[in-house]
Amino acid sequence: MSIQTKTMVSTERRKGPERRTDLRVGIDADVEWVLDGVRRPGHVSDMSMTGCFILTAGEFSDGEIVLIYFPHADGGRVEIRGEIRNNVPEIGFAVRFLSPTPFQQEFIRDFA
């Protein structure tokens, strides 16, 4: 598990309805994500209460549903389901969390 650091993220690359409006926090954390049953490595670069950006190689498209496995302080992982909302091939994708449970919301708040 990589050590995470927090920084404010202020650059706004995207505009309009696809833009996350929640405060984003810079994160430095390794994650795993699953698409079509295949688990892949990734790295979270920023996170908000509604989503995150995952740096990763691979092929993915807007609208696809992924499972993201975040490291938990107890050594386990927390799974959060999300939808790819913006992808940059071979760089990564932005994901919007889908209906996080109260436990997942608390985890996101503490993680970010």
Rounded Cα distance between 108 and 112, Å, is: 6
> Each residue of 40-71: pLDDT tens digit?
999 999 999 999 999 999 889 999 999 999 99
> Each residue of 11-31: pLDDT tens digit?
444 444 455 456 668 889 999
Could you list the beta-strand ranges (E) of 1-112.
Answer: 7-8, 25-35, 38-47, 51-55, 65-71, 77-88, 92-97
DSSP helix/strand/coil, 100: coil
Quote the distance between the C-alpha of residue 37 and its chain's center.
18
pTM of the model: 0.79
- Taking alpha carbons only, the member of 24, 83, 25, 28 closest to residue 55 is 28
